[in-house]
């Protein structure tokens, strides 16, 4: 790349990725485009069975002891992609194709320096769903000892912990009835709302240090001319550090399990909270990189979850970092500055240089194909 055109090249690469929709399960087209750019940058690249994309330094084996792990998928919902000055707008610009491009630039820089280090890049699939790409690494015993997770952390935050999650599907049944006389009818929606009120009383949390929950979808009734005979909702609980997902499930069953025999709960997924010590090698490497750019680093615990929850228990050290305003993630106004993407690339680069010196004796793992 020519220095005079780096910013425009980065904007174009990110735009091309953002303009291709890639919700969980439909990442293939975007994965192919990302692999195309990795190859153009002179890297060895392939796509595995989950549509995750991997890249390594030229002529390197498909092995790594250090992994830059972003994700190629985004949430559902189209946003018109565009380049405006030195900013890229569109779904996934922040979460998390911006960090992914930063990681690609860092690996390219390592290639240009002719670094001989078992480092790889992964654009994992399904992070916004069931973490298909990350779980594939775990199932194959392919989790490298040192991992940097690519997530938007506002450029100066190093994330050392994530809350866990429990996702629940609740259904309620009733006999329905005529809307003109609800007092003699039997509304499934009323039953469901009573249960939701009980949840609010049992879990009134308003901060990331407490159990919180959000209703992400609610459906009731088949007609505007009758009381609903069926109602359902999806509830997303978040589990704070210090509590396990299993503890929350047990408490849920105690609090609302016997409230209404016409309602039932199905547990859809569990993700345990995860935390790594600040003095661990990967957080230290990122802090050094941030300081090296003249910025002031800080450590953070995120309210949500990421592939760090999945991979963290199997890694020697892990942390999350990346460009982008995390408040814009999953919003209708996702945008990221190209300058932020470039700065984060330099932080990743410095962090990997540091890790390469410290990880010489660690065994590299075989990456999935």
Question: Is the four-CA dihedral 335, 337, 342, 347 of positive or negative sign?
Answer: negative
* C-beta of residue 57 within 8 angstroms of C-beta of residue 360: no
* C-beta of residue 297 within 8 angstroms of C-beta of residue 158: yes
Report H helices in the chain.
Answer: 6-18, 28-40, 98-112, 132-139, 188-202, 245-256, 281-292, 307-311, 338-358
Location of structure tokens 């259904």: 171
Report H helices in 127-280.
Answer: 132-139, 188-202, 245-256
* C-beta of residue 319 within 8 angstroms of C-beta of residue 277: no
Residue boundaries of the structural domains of the chain = 3-162+273-366, 164-271
Look at residues 146, 122, 121, 149 and name the one whose alpha carbon lies nearest to residue 136: 122
**Helical (H) or strand (E) element with 164:** strand 164-173
Range 3-162+273-366 classified under CATH 3.30.465.10 = no
pLDDT at residue 4, rounded to an integer: 42
* C-beta of residue 145 within 8 angstroms of C-beta of residue 317: yes
Chain centre distance of CA 216: 17
pTM of the prediction?
A: 0.93
Location of structure tokens 């814009």: 328
Q: Please, which contacts does 139-143 make with residues 24 or more away whose CB atoms are closer than 8 Å?
A: 140/366, 140/368, 141/365, 142/365, 142/366, 142/367, 142/368, 143/311, 143/314, 143/315, 143/365
* C-beta of residue 52 within 8 angstroms of C-beta of residue 72: yes
pLDDT at residue 260, rounded to an integer: 76
pLDDT at residue 151, rounded to an integer: 98
Query: In angstroms, what CA-CA distances link 341 with 153, 190, 305?
Result: 12, 49, 22
Q: What is the pLDDT of residues 193-240, one digit of tens each?
A: 999 999 999 999 999 999 999 999 999 999 999 999 999 999 999 999
Look at residues 98, 141, 102 and name the one whose alpha carbon lies nearest to residue 121: 102
Mean pLDDT by 10 residues, the chain (369 residues): 73 97 98 98 97 94 95 96 95 98 98 94 97 98 98 97 96 94 93 92 93 96 94 97 94 80 90 96 98 97 96 97 96 96 98 91 90
What are the catalytic residues?
Answer: 73, 127
Angle at 30 between CA 29 and CA 31, to 5 degrees: 90
Two structure tokens written together for 366: 């075989």
pLDDT at residue 2, rounded to an integer: 46
Q: Which fold has domain 164-271?
A: Alpha-Beta Plaits (3.30.70)
């Amino acid at each position: 790349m020519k220095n005079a055109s780096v910013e425009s090249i980065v904007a174009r690469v990110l735009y091309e990725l953002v303009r291709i929709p890639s919700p969980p399960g439909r990442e293939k087209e975007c994965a192919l485009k990302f692999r195309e750019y990795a190859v153009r940058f002179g890297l060895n690249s392939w796509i595995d069975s989950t549509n995750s994309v991997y890249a390594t330094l030229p002529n390197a084996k498909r092995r790594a002891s250090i992994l830059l792990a972003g994700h190629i998928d985004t949430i559902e919902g189209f946003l018109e992609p565009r380049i405006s000055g030195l900013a890229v707008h569109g779904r996934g610009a922040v979460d998390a194709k911006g960090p992914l491009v930063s990681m690609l630039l860092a690996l390219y820089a390592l290639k240009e320096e002719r670094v001989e280090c078992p480092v790889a890049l992964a654009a994992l699939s399904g992070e916004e769903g069931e973490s298909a790409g990350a779980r594939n690494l775990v199932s194959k015993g392919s989790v490298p000892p040192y991992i940097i997770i690519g997530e938007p952390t506002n450029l100066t935050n190093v994330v050392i912990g994530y809350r866990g999650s429990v996702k629940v599907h609740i259904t309620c049944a009733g006999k329905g009835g005529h809307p003109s006389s609800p007092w003699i009818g039997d509304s499934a929606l009323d039953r469901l709302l009573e249960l939701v009120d009980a949840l609010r009383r049992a879990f009134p949390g308003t901060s990331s240090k407490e159990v919180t929950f959000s209703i992400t979808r609610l459906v009731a009734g088949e007609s505007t001319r009758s009381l609903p005979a069926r109602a359902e909702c999806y509830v997303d609980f978040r589990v704070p550090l210090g509590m396990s997902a299993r503890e929350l499930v047990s408490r849920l069953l105690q609090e609302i399990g016997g409230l209404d025999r016409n309602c039932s709960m199905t547990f859809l997924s569990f993700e345990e909270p995860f935390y790594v010590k600040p003095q661990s090698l990967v957080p230290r490497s990122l802090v050094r990189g941030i300081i090296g750019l003249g910025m002031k680093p800080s450590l953070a615990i995120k309210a949500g979850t990421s592939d760090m929850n999945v991979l963290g228990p199997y890694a020697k050290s892990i942390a999350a970092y990346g460009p982008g305003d995390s408040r814009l993630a999953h919003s209708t106004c996702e945008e990221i500055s190209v300058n932020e993407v470039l700065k984060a690339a330099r932080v990743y680069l410095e962090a990997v240089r540091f890790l390469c010196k410290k990880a010489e004796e660690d065994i590299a793992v075989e990456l999935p194909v």
